[in-house]
Structure 1
Amino acid sequence: MRLQGKTAIVTGGASGFGAGIVRKFIAEGARVLVADINTEGAEAFAGELGNNAVAQTVDVADTISVEAMTDAALGAFGSIDILVNNAGITHERGPLEEITEEEFDRVLAVNAKSVFLTARTIIPHMKERGSGAVLNVASTAAVSPRPMLNWYNASKGWMVTATKTMAVELAPAGIRVNALAPVAGETPLLKKFMGEDTPEMRAAFLATIPIGRFSDPEDMGNAACYLCSDEASMVTGVVLEVDGGRCI
């Protein structure tokens, strides 16, 4: 029960890595706001998890929606101890000059602007309390980029730098900020990362991961639990690679 008594918001919490983080947090004693643009998915998942999970619809790229999410968490829990910026998207694989401006804007809005928006609404609350933990879900794409996903790579690189600068600025306020860098996993984004989901593409992708498998939601949940728990009270500004050796 490493998160006993803690409250958390997990964006993109209804599926994929976010769902793995939510499950682990609940198992470790936290109360969690499952925030997702998929209202039906968030409500179904929260209902499955019981009284310690609350569903909330959110578009993390929209100011009003993020403010409503924050108000919902404070209304349900009274405080926010942990923020996990997990929601993310990518564009279709392709040469960097062929990605449309609309795709670029959407990727940067969801992957980068969202961190700015949640910081504006939630960090002041954490400062008032003198404590908090923020976890940004980046990617191995930020550390070891793959071709044909250029602007997605860049958005995750932005998140790594944001994590470090937030950590430096917020440490005196008692707020820790870290990031996870997973390799691709069995999530809705996997097909876009590979271009096509075939046995041959999976084999080629897995050949780049020394441990020989994709990241899974449980891997992410375990790593997130540590970084957001008091066990990591001396850890801030870290980008933890959960990648089976992909970035070595």
Structure 2
Amino acid sequence: MAKSPYYSSKVILITGGAQGIGRGLAQAFALEHGHVVITDLDWDAGADAMAWLKKQHLAVEFMPCDVSKEQQVQQLMNKIRQQHGHLDVLINNAGIAAPPRKPLAQVTVEEFDQVLSVNLRGPFLCAKYALPLLEKGTNPTILNITSTRAFMSEPDTFGYTAAKGGLESLTHSLAISLAPQRVRVNAIAPGWIETGPWQQEGKKTVPHHSKEDKEQHPVGRVGTPEDIAEAALFLCSDKAGFITGQSLVIDGGMTVKMIYHE
């Protein structure tokens, strides 16, 4: 008898799932027969993602939510409880990079706090209120999407870098703290991932990468959401059952390449 796909009975919640890496993750888990719930603050992007995924005959739902707001996260988890009764995979992908790069003296406290509230408080709130649902799931896992910015910086990206560094630390803290509830927690730290084709229909762009763009990656190309999704499918499966508290860097080797200026 053929074995059922691993994710066929699983409920997967992907925050920030309407565009970019999140949309790629939603497609990948749905193609593996998981029941995917995507949440996003952008209603239009959510509706667009739903239409795109349903054209592929994939099982998806859209539940709008601002993950930085405690009450909205509570309402989201209550809705999942009412409709599904459990949760097997939580992927904390939602994040913002605003404001654009600014010198330190020009960054407002409000701007700094906004990035931390979405990128760091959001995953904390989602983990907190998803835990009772995960405890009812099968081989429950949390996957945090961080960034190589947690380990290296471009100038003037204070809030984003700080939030992603905090999310790396939150990952191993959750892994140790939730081990008694048998919840595994890991992270993926993407490098340069081209998301232009994975946006809302009216925002899609055709990527163009120069020879220099490609050659700064030892693998010879820029990354794609599929690269992240393939690793996520593994880390959230029972094949990764002995892996927790870890962060997998997926950046085509960029962060280990030394660059000298002659």
TM-score, normalised by the number of residues in structure 2: 0.84
Aligned to 1:88: 95
Note the 1:152-163 alignment, pairs <5 A: 152-163=160-171
2:10 to 6, 9, 18: 6
Distance 1:219 1:201, change over 3 A: closer
Shift of residue 10 of structure 1? 0.2
The AA in structure 2 aligned to 1:41 is A
Q: In the aligned structure 2, how far is the partner of 1:129 from the partner of 1:242?
A: 28
> Does residue 26 of the first structure (1) align with residue 33 of the second (2)?
no
- Contact 2:90/2:143, CA 8 A, preserved across alignment: yes
Aligned to 1:37: 41
Q: In the aligned structure 1, how far is the partner of 2:210 from the partner of 2:122?
A: 30
Shift of residue 61 of structure 1? 0.5
Q: CA RMSD in A?
A: 2.2
Shift of residue 172 of structure 1? 2.2
Deviations 1:67-93 (A, max 9, x none): 121122223322111000000011311
Which is worse superposed, 177-186 or 38-47?
A: 38-47
Distance 1:212 1:47, change over 3 A: same
Aligned to 1:191: none
The total of aligned residue pairs comes to 239
The AA in structure 2 aligned to 1:236 is T
Shift of residue 201 of structure 1? 9.3
Note the 1:144-155 alignment, pairs <5 A: 144-155=152-163
Distance 1:132 1:200, change over 3 A: closer
Aligned to 2:232: 224
> Does residue 70 of the first structure (1) align with residue 74 of the second (2)?
no
Q: In the aligned structure 2, how far is the partner of 1:149 from the partner of 1:207?
A: 24
The AA in structure 1 aligned to 2:104 is L
- Contact 2:87/2:137, CA 8 A, preserved across alignment: no
The AA in structure 2 aligned to 1:7 is V
2:243 to 235, 243, 246: 235
The AA in structure 1 aligned to 2:165 is G
2:66 to 55, 59, 65: 59
Shift of residue 52 of structure 1? 1.3
Shift of residue 204 of structure 1? 5.7
- Contact 2:87/2:136, CA 8 A, preserved across alignment: no
Aligned to 2:192: 184
Deviations 1:109-164 (A, max 9, x none): 00000011112211133235584100000000012222221321111000000001
Q: In the aligned structure 1, how far is the partner of 2:140 from the partner of 2:221?
A: 33
Q: In the aligned structure 2, how far is the partner of 1:75 from the partner of 1:49?
A: 23
> What runs of 5+ residues in structure 2 fail to find an aligned partner?
197-204, 257-262
Which is worse superposed, 68-77 or 232-241?
A: 68-77
The AA in structure 1 aligned to 2:46 is A
Q: In the aligned structure 2, how far is the partner of 1:168 from the partner of 1:84?
A: 18
The AA in structure 1 aligned to 2:52 is E
SS of match in other structure, 1:135:
strand
Pair member with larger Rg: 2
Distance 1:97 1:200, change over 3 A: farther
Identity of aligned residues (%): 35
Distance 1:23 1:85, change over 3 A: same
Distance 1:13 1:204, change over 3 A: same
Q: In the aligned structure 1, how far is the partner of 2:153 from the partner of 2:50?
A: 34
- Contact 2:150/2:162, CA 8 A, preserved across alignment: yes
Q: In the aligned structure 2, how far is the partner of 1:201 from the partner of 1:151?
A: 27
Q: In the aligned structure 1, how far is the partner of 2:215 from the partner of 2:101?
A: 19
Aligned to 1:101: 109
Note the 1:129-208 alignment, pairs <5 A: 131-187=139-195, 206-208=214-216
Which is worse superposed, 232-241 or 178-187?
A: 178-187
